[in-house]
A and B are shown apart, each in its own frame.
Chain A
Amino acid sequence: MKPGRLAPLIAPGVALGLWSLGGAVVFLSVLGPRGAALRQAVFQALEATWMVMFLWWLGAAVLLGWLAQRARHRLIVAPQRLLGAMRIAAADETMDSVPDIAHTPETQALAQEIDRLLGQRRALASYMARLVADASRSVAEQRDQLAALMTELDHAVVVCNREGRILLYNGRMRALARRISGRGGGDSAGAELIGLGRSIHALIDKAALDHALDRVEARIARGADGSAAAAQFVTASDAGHLLRASVAPVRRTDFAEMGGEADDSDGSDPEALTGFLLMLDDITEDHERQTRRDRALQDMYERSRAAVANMQAALDMLEYPDLGAADHDRFLSVIRDEVAAMHRRLLADEEAAAQDIGSRWPLHDMLGTDLLAAAVRRLAATAGAPITTQPMAQDLWLLIDSFGLIGALDHLARRILALHPDPVLWLRLTPAGPRAHLDLGWVADGAALDPRDYSALPDEPMAQPVAGALSVREVVDRHGGEIWLERERDSFGGSGGGRFFRLLLPRATADTAPPESAIGSRPEFYDFGLFAAGHASADDNRKLSELAFTVFDCEMTGLDPAGGDEIIQIGALRIVNTRILRGETIDQLVDPQRSIPEAGIAIHHITPQMVRGQPAIAEVLPVFHRFAADSVLVGHNIAFDMRFLKLKEAATGLRFDHPLLDTLLLSSVLHPAEDSHSLEAVAARLGVEIGARHTALGDAIATAEVFVRMIPLLARQGIETLGQARAASDRSQFARLRY
């Protein structure tokens, strides 16, 4: 046995022996002279029996030691171990039993009870996790569906909270915003007026919007619901575009249905307006077209009146009985002349009107073979029999509303089947100059019906209006086309007695390709968390996880702005609610209007040729300033970039007085022991891969990813708000260095 284990075992015995010995010494000494005989007798007895006495003591000491050990283990050690195990199990939710410890029967029973409770906790946790996962999946699906729906909408849609901060928008909204802000593909393209967390008032006049919202609230107060509460208005953008806007309310209850977390804790009205949905149409073109149409109509009236006046006057003259032959011919010629001119004008007006109708109805390019295939499928289902088609050119493109057209063909087929049982239906598509002939024909046995039975079919009301059109002719009219009934002359379709409806349709040409057919993929998402956000301005007391940030980086001609070095590239992107918005970026080369040193080109690879023709910094900075509005500027070693920006304040009239955060300083706060806080080193530490180093946007993206990963790490150090992050940065040793 090791001395270390022996000592506690015999310690109680030694203590007891020493205590007994001490007692005997005290007893014998207090007897004084009277105890001399007794002492004599005791010493004599001990002399004879000390070995027995020692062994007795040793046995008692060991026994006592063992008992004390057992008692300690039972009463102190085992409960302590159980307590430690319980603490571990309490901290680790995945544990469903306490670790194996040296049990006593009591702690064993206690541990079993604890295991049972842990098992229940585990089951409850997994049940809760399942519920949360199901709910999250359902919410995610709904959000995805909503996002997909928004993408497909023909309208520009944006959802905002009550303050006008944008929570969601679709691709058409972004395209519209670009168009009306004059940034569609221009030199400064890439900067957006629209973006999550931004204010809609940059696009829509605040007063007009507030007025519409007041009307919406008044209608809700009167008990109006849904679309009945919506308000419409027309406003003009700064660039003169006419926008028709429809504002519909989003209430607390609507928001909860959208998948947001409706917070009822403040006890406010669940029907209260928490935001609004804004649908925008750019009606500038419509308005111009309408104006053109009105003018053309007015012009037509006037020309017709003049022409009728000329003919009327000439006819009046012809009525004079004594008119000479020469005068007679002259007045006849006036009338012929006017009739011919009127005919020419009518044809031109008709063509213009047809084009106008075509341009008003959304037609799209479609390959003729695709249209025929789709029509054959639909008609075969209607007729319950295969439809014959004739071979056709493979590259015949049409400009059509395929949904409406196939619906119209289906209606015709149904009516033909009703008039003539078991006919053989056929389809044919042939080019005809700038148009195409789409023929729906039939061959039927038995007595031929009077053509008049069929000829009215295009004009009769359809059982179900197709895409808003009430008759087949209306569908055809939308194409600026025509429809008529013809007799089949060749043998196509069997016997020669067949008839067909011919639809005259426009062909697609290179310049009729639909604009904006592809507006990017998904919209840049949505952030319903912003519903809960109150005012989104940067605030020292607000959490980093709730703020909007603009992360940016610049490439320069050199390192000395005061010495004439200039910015040659700006890259920026935004972070809202800790999410990096990759769709909202600036990636802009800038003409420095000076030479670029070779040494710099080796780093940033931006050559003088690349910046030639690019906008100057005076044009780019206002765009960047708008982009960064209401946000915290973030950069890596941001003081360097800020020196360049600050030097431009006087020239551009812009103030870059945003709150700033520097990922270099924050890195030194998080990892004070590290030597390097370069962007590469910080990114490597945080597991961020840098894509395109030393391009402004590439560095800005890396900085953004680094920053987003820093937010939870900072929170662990108790740095949660902007103010705390700024204070910690200021305290960092790097902040004392001058750049």
Chain B
Amino acid sequence: MTHTVLIADDEPNIVVSLEFLLKREGHRVLIARDGAEALAMIRAERPRLVLLDAMMPGLSGFDLCETLRSDPALAGTRIVMLTARSREADQARAMGAGADAFVAKPFSTRDLAARIRGLLA
């Protein structure tokens, strides 16, 4: 089933692979380069799932996650946090902010695709 998925990351080199992966999974892919752009696109396009990089310039992934979770209209949006920091504190922060999944970089794209499939099922 086709869903709209948004990738919010300021690293073009990861975006290119994630975009390819998600398109192959059959989804419609939106791309945002920072937190503010992502928030605007989410409000406008209502994606089913958001891949959020935790450390984006401006509005960080953590902040964006909290903003999304505080908006009842977006309650159904699945959120996956990506981060290059593997500290437990970051994972706890991500889950505390309301993320559905936390993925530490580097990761296997296969595993990521499986997690996304699980969240969209």
Contacts and interface: CB of A to CB of B under 8 A. Distances in A.
Contact of B13 (A303, A305, A320, A338): A338
B105 A305 contact: yes
A314 B13 contact: yes
A307 to B, nearest CB: 8
Most A CB within 10 A of own CB, among B16, B18, B21, B86: B16
Given A305-B104, A337-B13, A317 B20 contact: yes
B17 A313 contact: yes
A302 B54 CA distance: 12
A320 B21 CA distance: 10
B104 A313 contact: no
Nearest to B14: A310
A334 B20 contact: no
Contacts of A301: 84
A323 to B, nearest CB: 9
Interface string B86-116: 1000000000000000001111111000000
Interface in B4-60: 11, 13-14, 16-18, 20-21, 24, 55
A308 B17 contact: no
Interface string A198-232: 00000000000000000000000000000000000
Nearest to A341: B13
B22 to A, nearest CB: 11
B13 A312 contact: no
A303 B84 CA distance: 7
B85 interface: yes
B107 A330 contact: no
Interface in A284-327: 301-303, 305-306, 308-314, 316-317, 320, 327
B88 to A, nearest CB: 15
B21 to A, nearest CB: 7
A334 B16 contact: yes
A66 interface: no
A305 B106 contact: yes
A317 B15 CA distance: 12
A317 B17 contact: yes
B21 A313 contact: yes
B17 A310 contact: yes
A469 B107 CA distance: 41
B17 A334 contact: yes
Contacts of B21: 313, 316-317
Chain A contact residues, majority secondary structure: helix
Contacts of A309: 14, 84, 105-107
Contacts of B86: 305
Nearest to A304: B84
A320 B105 CA distance: 21
A45 B84 CA distance: 158
A331 interface: yes
B109 A316 contact: yes
Given A309-B105, A309-B106, A309-B107, A316 B84 contact: no
Most A CB within 10 A of own CB, among B11, B55, B85, B105: B105
A312 B108 contact: yes
Contacts of B11: 306, 310
B13 A334 contact: yes
Given A305-B84, A305-B105, A313 B14 contact: yes
B85 A302 contact: yes
Most B CB within 10 A of own CB, among A303, A305, A310, A313: A313
Interface in B41-82: 55
A303 B10 CA distance: 13
Contacts of B105: 305-306, 308-309
B13 A316 contact: no
Nearest to A335: B13
Contacts of B107: 309, 312-313
B14 A306 contact: yes
Given A317-B17, A320-B24, A331-B16, A312 B106 contact: yes
Contacts of A338: 13
A330 B84 CA distance: 23
B8 to A, nearest CB: 15
A218 to B, nearest CB: 39
A403 B52 CA distance: 55
Contact of A330 (B16, B24, B108): B16
A282 B51 CA distance: 47
A313 B13 CA distance: 9
Interface string A538-574: 0000000000000000000000000000000000000
Contacts of B14: 306, 309-310, 313
B109 A317 contact: yes
Contacts of A320: 24
Nearest to A337: B13
A338 B11 CA distance: 11
A330 B12 CA distance: 12
Contacts of A311: 106
B45 to A, nearest CB: 24
Nearest to B112: A313
B109 A313 contact: yes
A320 B106 CA distance: 19
Nearest to B82: A309
A305 B13 CA distance: 13
Interface string A91-134: 00000000000000000000000000000000000000000000
B39 to A, nearest CB: 22
A136 to B, nearest CB: 66
Nearest to A338: B13
Most A CB within 10 A of own CB, among B11, B13, B86, B109: B13
Interface in A614-667: none
A500 to B, nearest CB: 44
Contacts of A337: 13
Given A317-B20, A327-B20, A310 B13 contact: yes
B27 to A, nearest CB: 16
A305 B107 CA distance: 9
B18 to A, nearest CB: 7
A330 B14 CA distance: 12
Contact of B17 (A305, A306, A314): A314
B34 to A, nearest CB: 16
Nearest to A322: B24
A172 to B, nearest CB: 41
A301 B106 CA distance: 11
B116 to A, nearest CB: 13
Contacts of B18: 313
A303 B83 CA distance: 11
9 contacts: A302-B84, A305-B105, A306-B14, A312-B109, A313-B17, A313-B21, A316-B108, A327-B20, A334-B16
Interface of A: 301-303, 305-306, 308-314, 316-317, 320, 327, 330-331, 334, 337-338
Given A305-B84, A316-B109, A330-B16, 8 more contacts: A306-B105, A308-B105, A311-B106, A312-B107, A312-B109, A314-B16, A316-B108, A334-B16
Interface of B: 11, 13-14, 16-18, 20-21, 24, 55, 84-86, 104-110
Task: Give the 8 A-B residue pairs with the shortest CB-CB distance, closest first.
Answer: A309-B105, A313-B17, A309-B106, A316-B109, A305-B84, A310-B13, A308-B106, A306-B84
